[in-house]
Chain A
Amino acid sequence: MSRLDDALKEALRREDPGPDFTRAVLARAAAERPKRSWWSALASGFRPPLVRWATAGVLACALLATGLEYRREQHQRAEGEAAKHQLVLALRIAGVKLHVAQEKVFERND
Chain B
Amino acid sequence: MRIRAILLMAALPVFAQDIKMPASVERLSAKAVETVDVQLDGALLQLAGRFLSGHKPDEAKVKDMLGGLKGIYVRSFEFSQEGEYTAEDLEAIRSQLRVPGWSKIVGVVSKKDKEHTEVYLKVEGGRVGGLVVLAAEPKELTLVHINGSISLEKLSELGGHFGVPKIDIEKNPAKD
Contact = CB atoms under 8 A, between A and B. Distances in A.
Interface string A66-102: 0000000000010111011011111111111111111
A60 to B, nearest CB: 32
B62 A87 contact: yes
Nearest to A93: B74
Contact of B165 (A80, A99, A104, A108): A99
A46 interface: no
Given A90-B72, A95-B167, A97-B144, A80 B51 contact: yes
B163 interface: yes
A105 B36 contact: no
B144 A105 contact: no
A106 B159 CA distance: 17
Query: Chain B: interface residue count, which band?
Result: 35 or more
A94 B74 CA distance: 8
Contacts of B117: 97, 100-101, 104
Interface residues of A, number: 28
Contacts of A101: 106, 108, 117-119, 133, 135
A20 interface: yes
B162 A83 contact: no
Contacts of B144: 90, 93-94, 97
A100 B108 CA distance: 10
Contact of A102 (B44, B47, B146, B168): B168
A14 B51 CA distance: 26
Contact of B48 (A20, A86, A94, A106): A86
A69 to B, nearest CB: 18
B155 A83 contact: no
B95 to A, nearest CB: 20
B50 interface: yes
B164 A97 contact: no
Interface in B105-139: 106, 108, 110, 115, 117-119, 131, 133, 135
